[in-house]
Amino acid sequence: PPPYTGVWMGDSKLCAIGVHCGNHITSHGLALNCCTDLTWFEHIVPCGLEGKGVTSLSHELGQHVAVSHVLKPFLDSFQEVFDCTLVSSEDPG
């Protein structure tokens, strides 16, 4: 919910996004909780947001969702949305 970044399911964050700028370098990334052990978040204030929680695809869907199940559709969607071609460091050439 605005003004918070990321992907939310109600008051719980499903996906965190971030940008870091420093030493003339900009990096960015995301963390999509697929089958994360959510008990670890009971010991911290996730993303510094009091009163907000963290969730995962597995928790929300009531079944195990492995990263391997999500990776290809996620990357396909990324390429479509950003009109780009992703290249793996494992690809030859």
Whether 11 maps to a domain, the answer reads yes
Residue 2 lies in a domain: no
Indicate which residue of 21, 34, 35, 47 is catalytic: 47
Domains identified in the chain, total number? 1
Question: What is the span of the domain harbouring residue 68?
Answer: 7-82
DSSP annotation of 53 reads E
Residue 87 lies in a domain: no
- pTM, 2 dp: 0.80
Identify the band that residue 16 occupies on the pLDDT scale cut at 50, 70 and 90. Answer: very high
Check if 15 is active-site: no
Q: What is the pLDDT of residues 41-53, one digit of tens each?
A: 999 988 888 889 9
Q: Give the dihedral of Cα atoms 45, 49, 52, 53; nearest 10 deg.
A: -40
